[in-house]
Amino acid sequence: MKRGIKQFAVVCFVAAAISGIGNVFVHADYNGVPDKVTINESKRSVVQGKKFEVKVQTSPCSAEDDYICWEIVSGKSYVRFEDYDRTGDDMDFIAVKPGTAIIRCYVYGKNKKRYGDTIKVTVTAAKKDYSLKKVGKSVKYEEVNDDFDLEVRKGHSIKESELKWKISNSGIVNFAERKKTGHEVEFYAKRCGTTKVTCSYTNSKGDKKSVVYTVKVVDDYDD
């Protein structure tokens, strides 16, 4: 193609793209439209709350993956997209709650059922976790007049409001704020001494779990 003709063709293509003529579908490169896409597996089991990835193979393998699109055919309340991306040869999803969903991958502009593929995703309930553990050392050293945080690591089945904190001697350490529940609470070191601070959880059956920190309040050595 001569230089003048080539330049004219480029100008026409840009003009068509800007004006919307022909519904131009823009891509990063031009390896061609896939003939078909195939998901690597027909079914998957995922635990509630987990992120998972689904991959496809294109035919031919060098085809442009911008033409590959995704949709949740059924079970949108059980599975959702991780973000707003809907194209590419792999896609991330979130397992929301127990149930079954059908996810489809297809080639843009082609018959979805004939040239696409689906995967059945079964979301299972997450195992109950009521564990309660300390964060850091059991003995904490704090200086007089300082604010400090105490924290626990809780299982996902425990609600923040179900974790309650208690101080053995509020004359040595007291709550820095009105908040006395949750996995992390702020305290205030009032005077030198040693006291116990307990975080406990009690369920409806009366089962109780707790962690205990020993707080040693010492002089402010910066004075």
Average pLDDT, the chain: 86
Condensed to tens digits (0 to 9), the pLDDT of residues 200-217 reads 998 767 678 999 999 999
d(CA 158, CA 142): 29
Parallel, antiparallel, or unpaired for β 184-189 and 117-124? unpaired
CA separation, residue 1 to residues 8, 65, 106 (Å): 11, 29, 36
The per-residue pLDDT for 17 is 42
d(CA 64, CA 71): 19
3-state secondary structure of 161: helix
3-state secondary structure of 162: helix
Amino acid letter, 47: V
The per-residue pLDDT for 27 is 44
Condensed to tens digits (0 to 9), the pLDDT of residues 18-73 reads 444 444 344 444 568 999 999 999 999 999 989 999 999 999 988 888 999 999 99
Provide the 10 A C-beta neighbour count for residue 54: 19
Q: Which residues does 53 contact at the CB level (< 8 Å), separation at least 6?
A: 90, 91, 92, 93
The per-residue pLDDT for 97 is 94
Domains with residue ranges and CATH for the chain:
31-124 (2.60.40.1080), 132-218 (2.60.40.1080)
